[in-house]
Chains A and B, each alone.
Chain A
Amino acid sequence: MTVESAPVADEAPDGWPLISVVTPVYDPPIAVLTEAIESVLAQTFGGWELLLIDDGSTDPKVRETLGSYAARDGRIRVIERASNGHIVAASNDGVDAARGEFLALLDHDDTLAPHALARNVKVIAEHEDIDYIYSDEDHIDEQGRYGHPFAKPIWSPERLRSQNYCCHLSVFRTALVRAVGRFREGFDGSQDHDLILRVSERSRRIVHIPEVLYHWREVTGSAAGDAEAKPYALEAGRRAVQEHLERVGIAGAAEIGGPGHLRIHRPLPGARRISLIIPTIGSSALVWGRERVLVVEAVRSALERTRHVDIEVVVVYDEPTPAPVLDELADIAGDRLLLVPFREPFNYSRKINFGVLASSGDRVVLLNDDTQVRTDDWLEDLVAPLEEPDVGMTGAKLFFSSNTVQHAGIACSRGFYIHPWATAPAGEPGNFAGLLINREVSGVTGACAALRREVFLEVGGLTENLPEAFNDVDFSYKLRTAGYRILALAQPELFHFETLSRESKLVKDWEYDYIRARWGYPVRDDYLPAYPNLPKTKAERDHERLERLKSSADLGEWWRTTSQLMGTPVGTGR
Chain B
Amino acid sequence: MTQHDRVISNSSDPSTSASTNSAAATSGTQPRTVELHDDRILARHAELVAIDNVMGLEARVVELSNLLISARERARKLRERVEELESELAATRSSRTWKVGRAVTRPLSRLRG
Contact for A338 among B2, B15, B22, B34, CB less than 8 A: B34
Query: Which residue from B13, B32, B33, B60 sits with its C-beta under 8 Å from A517?
Result: B60
Which 3 residue pairs spanning A and B have beta carbons closest together?
A330-B23, A460-B51, A460-B52
Can you add 12 more A-B contacts, CB < 8 Å, to A329-B23, A341-B13, A357-B45? Answer: A327-B19, A327-B23, A331-B27, A334-B27, A338-B33, A339-B20, A459-B52, A459-B55, A460-B48, A462-B52, A463-B52, A465-B56
Q: List 28 contacting pairs A-B, 8 Å CB cutoff, sorted by A.
A: A319-B15, A326-B23, A329-B23, A334-B29, A335-B31, A337-B31, A338-B34, A339-B20, A339-B31, A341-B16, A341-B35, A343-B15, A353-B49, A354-B41, A357-B41, A357-B45, A360-B2, A457-B51, A460-B48, A460-B49, A460-B53, A461-B48, A461-B49, A462-B52, A478-B55, A518-B59, A518-B63, A519-B59
Contact B20 A326, beta carbon cutoff 8 Å: yes
CA distance in complex: A520, B34 (Å): 38
Which residues, 1 to 29 on B, are CB-close (under 8 Å) to A?
Answer: 1-3, 6, 8, 13, 15-16, 18-20, 22-24, 26-27, 29
A327 and B19 CA atoms in complex are apart in Å by 6
The contact of A358 among B36, B54, B60, by CB within 8 Å, is: B36
In contact, B59 and A481 (Cβ under 8 angstroms): yes
Q: Which residues of B contact A453 (CB under 8 A)?
A: 1
Closest Cβ neighbor of B43 among chain A residues: A357
Contact for B3 among A334, A357, A360, A460, CB less than 8 A:
A360
Q: How far is the CB of A261 from chain B (nearest CB, A)?
A: 35
A282 → B minimal CB distance (Å): 10
Most chain B C-beta atoms within 10 Å of own C-beta, residue among A319, A359, A461: A461
- If A330-B27, A517-B60 touch, does A340 touch B52 (CB 8 Å cutoff)? no
The contact of A327 among B15, B22, B41, by CB within 8 Å, is: B22
Chain A residue at smallest Cβ distance from B41? A357
Query: Quick one: closest A residue to B58, CB to CB?
Result: A481
Say if the beta carbon of B69 comes within 8 Å of chain A. Answer: no
Question: 1/0 contact trace for A319-349 toward B, CB 8 Å?
Answer: 1000110110111011101111111000000
Assess whether B60 is in contact with A341, with CB atoms less than 8 Å apart. Answer: no
- Which residue of B1, B8, B56, B63 contacts A520 across the interface (Cβ within 8 Å)? B63
B-facing residues in A346-395 (Cβ within 8 Å): 353-354, 357-360
Q: How far is the CA of A331 from the CA of B24 in the complex (A)?
A: 9
B31 touches A460 (CB 8 A): no
Contacts of B60 in A (CB 8 A): 517-518
B22, B26, B48 pick with most chain A CB within 10 angstroms: B48
Say yes or no: A339 contacts B34, CB within 8 Å: yes
Q: Give the complex CA separation of A478 and B62 in angstroms.
A: 13
In the assembled complex, B44 has its CB within 8 A of some CB on chain A: yes
A116 vs B32: C-alpha distance when bound (angstroms)? 63
Q: Is the CB of A354 within 8 A of B45?
A: yes
How many angstroms between the C-alpha atoms of A518 and B55 in the bound complex? 9
- Bound Cα distance A475, B63 (Å): 17
Cβ–Cβ < 8 Å partners of A319 in chain B: 15
Give every chain B residue within 8 A of A331 (Cβ-Cβ): 23, 26-27
Q: Are B36 and A326 in contact (CB under 8 A)?
A: no
B50 within 8 A of A: yes
Least distance between B14 CB and chain A CB atoms (Å):
11
B105 at interface, CB cutoff 8 A: no
Query: B31 contacts which of A330, A343, A465 (Cβ < 8 Å)?
Result: A330
A323 interface neighbour in B2, B19, B35, B41, Cβ under 8 Å: B19
Q: How far is the CA of A358 from the CA of B63 in the complex (A)?
A: 34
Return the chain A residue nearest B52 by Cβ.
Answer: A460
Residues of A within 8 A of B20 (CB): 326, 330, 339
* Cross-chain contact A338 with B49 (CB below 8 angstroms): no
- Set of chain A residues within 8 Å of B33, measured between Cβ atoms: 338-341
Closest beta carbon of chain A to B69's beta carbon, Å: 12
Give Cα A360–Cα B33 distance, bound, in whole angstroms. 13
> What residues of A have a CB within 8 angstroms of the CB of B24 in the complex?
330
> Which partner residue on chain A sits nearest B50 by CB separation?
A460
* CB proximity to A under 8 Å, residues B44-93: 44-45, 48-56, 59-60, 62-63, 66
Contacts of B55 in A (CB 8 A): 459-460, 478, 481
Residues of B within 8 A of A (CB): 1-3, 6, 8, 13, 15-16, 18-20, 22-24, 26-27, 29, 31-36, 41, 44-45, 48-56, 59-60, 62-63, 66
CB of B48, distance to nearest CB on chain A (Å)? 5
The CA of A519 and the CA of B41, in the complex, are separated in Å by 29
| A464 interface contact, C-beta 8 A | yes
Interface string of A57-82 (1 = CB under 8 A from B): 00000000000000000000000000
Contact yes or no, A520 B66, CB < 8 A: yes
CA distance A360 to B8 in the complex (A): 11
Inside 8 A of A463's CB, which chain B residues have their CB?
Answer: 52, 56
Is A477 positioned at the interface, with any CB of B under 8 Å from its CB? yes
Decide if B19 touches A477 in the complex (CB within 8 Å).
Answer: no
> What separation, in Å, do the CA atoms of A166 and B59 have in the docked complex?
31
Most-contacted residue by chain B among A342, A460, A461, A465 (CB, 10 A): A460
- A337 close to B56 (CB less than 8 A): no
Residues of A within 8 A of B31 (CB): 326, 329-330, 333, 335, 337-339
Produce 1/0 per residue, A452-478, CB < 8 A to B: 010001111111110000000000011
Smallest beta-carbon distance B6→chain A, Å = 6
Residue contact B29 to A519, C-beta cutoff 8 Å: no
Shortest distance between the CB of A337 and any CB in chain B (Å)? 4
Q: Which residue of A lies closest to B48 (CB)?
A: A461
A323 to B31, CA, bound (A): 13
Interchain CA distance A462-B54 in the complex, whole Å:
13
- Known contacts: A331-B23, A335-B29. The answer to whether A341 contacts B15 by CB under 8 A is yes
Q: Are B29 and A330 in contact (CB under 8 A)?
A: yes
Tell whether A519 pairs with B48 under 8 Å between CB atoms, given A331-B23, A338-B31.
no
Q: Which residues of B contact A339 (CB under 8 A)?
A: 16, 20, 31-34
Interchain CA distance A453-B6 in the complex, whole Å: 15
Write the nearest CB–CB distance from B55 to chain A, whole angstroms. 5
Question: Digit string of A400-425 for contact with B (CB within 8 Å is 1, else 0)?
Answer: 00000000000000000000000000
Q: How far is the CB of A236 from chain B (nearest CB, A)?
A: 44
Given A340-B36, A460-B50, the answer on whether A357 and B44 have CB atoms closer than 8 Å is yes
Task: State which residues 469-525 of A face B: CB under 8 Å.
Answer: 477-478, 481, 517-520
